[in-house]
Amino acid sequence: MPILLLLASLAVQAQEMRDTLDASRISAMREKLKNTTQTGLTHIESKQLNSGVAVFGTPDVIKKLQMLPGVAAGNELMNGLYVHGGDGNDNLFLLDGVPLYNISHFGGLFSSFNTDVIDNLDFYKSGFPARYGGRMSSVVDVETREGNMEKYHGSVSLGLIDGRLQAEGPIFKGKTSFNLGLRRSWLDVVTIPAIWYANTQNGADETVGGGYSMSDLNARITHRFAPGNVLNVCFYTGADNLRASLENTGSKMKIGVKWGSLTSSVTHQYEFSKKLKTKNTLYYSQSTSDTGYNFAFTNKEEGVETITSMDDHDVSYVREIGLTSNWDWYPNSFNHVRYGLSAQYHWYHSGRNFTSSTVQDGEVQRESADDESQGYRSFEPAIYAEDEIFLRYNLTVNVGLRFAMFATPGKVWPSLEPRVAFKWLINNNISAKLSYTRMSQFAHLVAAVYMDLPSNSWMPSTANARPMTSDQVAGGIYTTFGPFKFNLEGWYKTMDHILVYNGSNTFVPPITEWEKSFTEGKGRSYGMEVEATFEKGPINISAYYTLSWTERFFDAVYGDWFLDRNDNRHKINLVASWHFAKHWEVFANWNYHSGNRITFPSHYIDVAGKRRYLYDKPYNTQLPDYHRLDLGIDFSVTFPNSHNLKVNLSVYNAYNHLNASMAFLETDNNGNFSGMAYGLVPIIPTITATYKF
Amino acid sequence: MLTACEIPFEIKQEGEPRIFLQGVADNGLVTVSALYATPIGGEQGTLSGLKTVFSVNGKEVELHGSPIPLEEGDQLLLEVSADGFEPVSGSTIVPPRPVITDISWERVQVDTIDATEIRMILDHAPAEDEYYGIQILRRDDIMFAGGDVETVLTNLTPGYILTAAESGSFDLADFIQVNYNGRYLGGPDYQPITLITNKQFDGALYKFYLNSFDASILDSIRDSMPGGNTGMAGGDIVSGDVGPGSGPGTIVPGDVRIPLGVETQYSFTFFRLSPEFYLYAKALFQSNFDFLANMGLIPANFTWSNVHGGLGFVGAVTSTTRGPYKFEN
């Protein structure tokens, strides 16, 4: 028994040490953020990502970011990330320095980032350093964790809809390590009984089949040649697989959709001296979707069997091979110079293939095929330099310049992007910052719908589709008083050459000459964010408020400025956690924002006895305000062998408030009009158990 | 997991009545409609003290209801005022009349369906800001025993036209079609016009496909007879009045006659649209999908108007009619 007590005591101490380490690391990061020159930067550590309420039992990077001020989430539960009035497809996602084009699973319900292997992430909404480029509205720089060089560790997580496995440890002790993360959903497994039951009810004449699965695999191998000489090899692949089939007498239908991403990189970090270090990465990234359906109808008349079949096969991808070389130079104690270059070669492709045939008694009577595809290759070199200059002990300026070129067939688009940020440390507790940045984006998401569907594809800027650009000024006051932190930040952002789908095909955008189905316009967004946090011991409370305006101008749509659909004028997020007992921690998030906007008829006329509705401007009606409470509780116990079991119970939308997801104009018998919104997402409880070893 | 719950909410809009103005110069015939647009939730009303000022190249021209000699490039301005309303106005430029240099056809198969490919060649390759439209009229002369001939006129809808651009199933959904009768756009009982942009041309060539319905008109008529085509002798038909409309026509039971054959001819009216006409027509078409926009799924791109201070549009069209053509095997 005394031995057990001793082991338990050691385990508690080990856990406390881990907590202390995490706390000190977070505290150090907070200090760094106060001292950093950039505006609009949020740094999130792994511990923060993996604690709190987990929607569907899976911690999700994007859903964490959606709670931050200055970010609109769009449709409920989806992975929308509309940063400072952005379009949602203008965020640069980097995984270990590699651009990731598709960041969603299941149409946007889950993000592609497995938090088990993430070390930290930096989220920039403004004040972008010159080393980042290629997207207009934000940068999400995710870094996976190096594997433990000394001991083997891992974790297993089981949730209601997915499971996760993580393992790390030395390959050569002290020299080489690995970190591996695997995640897979089991919706396809749990739906097997339902499909079996449906088939027993249908009888022998009809058979249904299908299922959906998603999976992610992250791997990182780190080798330390010597202090300051490190090699990292990183790999990620994520896949979604949806299939459905229906077979009955005379007809067969099969649908299969696969989509996903793959990235791999080799990064070498080398420290020449305390004054000069470099980080060079060679990488490959691809995002692919492959959609196919097949219909076959069999008809037998007077002994002659006729099979009519139709096959559709759509493939789209974007592939990118790139090289980045980043250098840090400290020529003296007043300057920190960063400079470097990048070069990316892209392949963009979208193709559709449709075939149909009629076969009579085994002989092809009729066959037709229809192919269309659009492909581009482009080259995007860029150079940058930035200098963090310590002008005085309390005045810092970061001056940077990025020059990028985008070469696409028939056109070369140059882009000169100045980046400037000032920081004035008024005293030890208060600082003021101001920044101006210009960003360009040479990739366009060709999508007819606001969902992450496999039918979406990425296309480059062309001679007809200009690069999108944004200019943003941001500034604020940042204070820290003991456990309290209070930040106030404002921004004004303009966006040019942004595209909105204006084609007539409602769901599937055209492939060839896709540019003509988009209309060009501009946008602007301005507002302010307030962030107040209290953090002391086991209690952590944060409150975020955003007041913002987001507008668009599309000549071919309206001809004047109008409020955008994600113009959430007020947004409030309250986040609290309390580690109230040794094994217990509770979490609560309350989310509120002004309703999204939709377009209702504004007027009507009666023509020939029939009513015709008229629309005065886009997004003229605001949906009811959105609010939701999420609750969570962790039970955590550390065993004598230092293994740890954590059980998380999360309740999404705890008071079951159905928020408006869509709305329609309704008329009663007396001709009175009203808006009728429909809420779709109720209370969702989930439970997840994680065992760490 | 997902459920649905109704949430009634108040519609907060301006609520002011507006003037709805539609002015179309169609081959010189200028038609103006000005209506009281009732705000959602507001009181219905009428326009009084209506005044219309129409100018061509800055000179006021009186509208008599008869065609006005308009030239390509004429700048048209339409201003309308009414008691209690600020004046509203819209302007457009008369587009050139389309010139078709050649029409040819051949039988083909499109996605396993027998079709007639029509190839229409303009005098130039359209530029990006050029917009066109087409109306296709099919005339079926049904010949009966005894020498009677009955005519069915059908304005073809997308179900009849397979594709407007290159061959392929995907272009079918690229159709933009609204109703237009030369006076009014978007009315409930007018004839369909299919809109065409330069992307649907191959140089100066516009190519589209018609279903081969020449023979099946008899089946179509037979199907609409009482009892369908099951209990009657092949070729029997119930005659009645049929006239222009959007389909084979309504058959009123009457004498039983025997159709011997049908002769089908097509004529084409090809329009050149001012950008305002096109943008408004496109917005009208896309308003059919407003429910998808209000589910947050697609952009709301159906609000275009060039009437300053009001709603509606002012646009111009010119047209050329070719045919009738008999596409025989």
pLDDT-derived band at A502, boundaries 50, 70, 90:
confident
Pick from A608, A617, A660: CB nearest B7: A660
More confident residue, A502 or A281: A281
Using DSSP, state whether A390 is helix, strand or coil: strand
What are the angstrom distances between the C-alpha of B50 and each of A86, A466, B39, B83? 45, 46, 19, 7
Assess contact for A214 and A223: CB atoms under 8 A: no
Q: Chain B partners of A368 at a C-beta cutoff of 8 Å?
A: 109-112
pLDDT-derived band at A32, boundaries 50, 70, 90:
low
* Most distant pair of Cα atoms in chain B: their distance: 68
More confident residue, A508 or A546: A546
Q: Is A670 a residue whose pLDDT tops 80?
A: no
Query: Helices (H) and strands (E) in chain B — how many of each?
Result: 3, 19
What are the angstrom distances between the C-alpha of A222 and each of A146, A147, A168, B93? 6, 7, 11, 68
A351 and chain B: CB distance < 8 Å anywhere?
no
Pick from A448, A621, A680: CB nearest B4: A680
Assess contact for A104 and A112: CB atoms under 8 A: yes
pLDDT-derived band at A497, boundaries 50, 70, 90:
very high
**Does the distance separating the beta carbons of A599 and B303 come in below 8 Å?**
yes
- What digits encode the pLDDT tens for the residues A175-220? 999 999 999 998 888 888 888 888 888 777 788 888 899 999 999 9
**Does the distance separating the beta carbons of A601 and B11 come in below 8 Å?**
no
State the pLDDT at residue A583: 94
Running DSSP on this structure, what letter comes out for residue B171?
Answer: G
Assess contact for A388 and A398: CB atoms under 8 A: yes
What are the angstrom distances between the C-alpha of A378 and each of A283, A410, A413, A459, B303? 16, 10, 11, 10, 36
Q: Chain B partners of A357 at a C-beta cutoff of 8 Å?
A: 112
State the pLDDT at residue B4: 64
Pick from B176, B186, B290: CB nearest A612: B186
DSSP one-letter string for A467-521: PEEEEEEEEEEEEEETTEEEEEEEEEEEEEEEEEE--S-SSS--STTGGGGEEEE
State the pLDDT at residue A572: 97
- CA-CA distance, B82 to B239, in Å (whole number)? 50
Query: What would the two tokens of residue A560 be?
Result: 């004047």
A505 and chain B: CB distance < 8 Å anywhere?
yes
Q: Where are the domains of chain A?
A: 18-692
Identity of the amino acid at A487: N
- CA-CA distance, A593 to A570, in Å (whole number)? 5
- Looking up tokens 């130079």 gives A329
Number of domains in chain B: 1
State the pLDDT at residue B256: 60
176-235 in B: which are within 8 Å (CB) of A? Answer: 176, 184, 186-189, 197, 199
- CA-CA distance, A304 to B126, in Å (whole number)? 50
Assess contact for B243 and B148: CB atoms under 8 A: no
Beta-bridged to residue B178, according to DSSP, are: B193
Q: Chain A partners of B197 at a C-beta cutoff of 8 Å?
A: 516
- pLDDT (mean) for A241-250: 84
Indicate if the alpha-carbon torsion angle A452, A457, A460, A465 is positive or negative.
negative
15-74 in A: which are within 8 Å (CB) of B? Answer: 74
Other CB atoms within a 10 A radius of the CB of residue B327 amount to 16
User: Which parts of chain B register pLDDT below 50?
Assistant: 1-2, 158-159, 162-173, 214-215, 224-253
User: Helical H runs in B11-86?
Assistant: none
Q: Chain B partners of A624 at a C-beta cutoff of 8 Å?
A: 7, 9
- CA-CA distance, B72 to A685, in Å (whole number)? 67
Q: Is A19 a residue whose pLDDT tops 90?
A: no
Q: Is A578 a residue whose pLDDT tops 80?
A: yes
Assess contact for B123 and B99: CB atoms under 8 A: yes
559-578 in A: which are within 8 Å (CB) of B? Answer: 559, 565
Share of chain A above pLDDT 70, in %: 94
**Does the distance separating the beta carbons of A510 and B170 come in below 8 Å?**
yes
Domain assignment present for residue B83? The answer is yes
State the pLDDT at residue B48: 93
Assess contact for B11 and B39: CB atoms under 8 A: no
Preferred mutation among B19, B43, B89, B112 to probe A, highest tally of A CBs within 10 A = B112
- CA-CA distance, A677 to A658, in Å (whole number)? 10
Other CB atoms within a 10 A radius of the CB of residue A301 amount to 7
A358 and chain B: CB distance < 8 Å anywhere?
yes
State the pLDDT at residue A308: 81
Give the 3-state DSSP-derived string for A196-249, with helices as H, strands as E and coil as C.
HHHHHHHCCCEEEEEEEEEEEEEEEEEEEEECCEEEEEEEEEEEEEEEEEEEEC
Assess contact for B121 and B205: CB atoms under 8 A: yes
Q: Is A575 exposed, middle or buried (0-12, 13-18, 19+ CB in 10 A)?
A: buried
- CA-CA distance, A132 to A130, in Å (whole number)? 5
What are the strands of the beta sheet with B75-81, ordered from one edge?
B59-60, B51-56, B75-81, B88-93
Domain assignment present for residue B77? The answer is yes
Q: Chain A partners of B20 at a C-beta cutoff of 8 Å?
A: 603, 605, 614
B91 and chain A: CB distance < 8 Å anywhere?
no
**Does the distance separating the beta carbons of B286 and A614 come in below 8 Å?**
no
**Does the distance separating the beta carbons of A500 and B9 come in below 8 Å?**
no
Distance from CA of A620 to the nearest CA of B (A): 7
State the pLDDT at residue A44: 93
- Looking up tokens 């097997």 gives A192
**Does the distance separating the beta carbons of B302 and A599 come in below 8 Å?**
yes
State the pLDDT at residue B163: 47
Nearest CA in chain A to B17: A603
Q: Chain B partners of A559 at a C-beta cutoff of 8 Å?
A: 304-306
Pick from B7, B112, B293: CB nearest A624: B7
Identity of the amino acid at A578: W
Query: To the nearest whole number, what is the mean pLDDT of chain A?
Result: 89
Q: Is A31 a residue whose pLDDT tops 80?
A: no
Distance from CA of B67 to the nearest CA of A (A): 24
**Does the distance separating the beta carbons of B9 and A676 come in below 8 Å?**
yes
- CA-CA distance, B201 to B208, in Å (whole number)? 10
CB within 8 Å of A386: residues ≥ 6 apart = A129, A130, A131, A337, A338, A339, A398, A399, A400, A401, A419
**Does the distance separating the beta carbons of B112 and A500 come in below 8 Å?**
no
Q: Among 3.30.43.10, 2.40.170.20, 2.40.160.20, 1.10.1840.10, what is the CATH number of A18-692?
A: 2.40.170.20
A618 and chain B: CB distance < 8 Å anywhere?
yes
Q: Is A275 a residue whose pLDDT tops 90?
A: yes
134-173 in B: which are within 8 Å (CB) of A? Answer: 167-170, 173
B110 and chain A: CB distance < 8 Å anywhere?
yes
Q: What is the CATH number of the domain that holds B86?
A: 2.60.40
A506 and chain B: CB distance < 8 Å anywhere?
yes
Distance from CA of A470 to the nearest CA of B (A): 21
Domain assignment present for residue B296? The answer is no
State the pLDDT at residue A2: 40
DSSP one-letter string for A277-344: EEEEEEEEEEEEEEEEEEEEEEEEETTEEEEEEEEEEEEEEEEEEEEEEEEEEEEETTEEEEEEEEEE
- CA-CA distance, A642 to A10, in Å (whole number)? 8
Nearest CA in chain B to A671: B41
Q: In this structure, what are the phi and psi dihedrals at residue A112, rounded to the nearest 5 degrees?
A: -85, 0
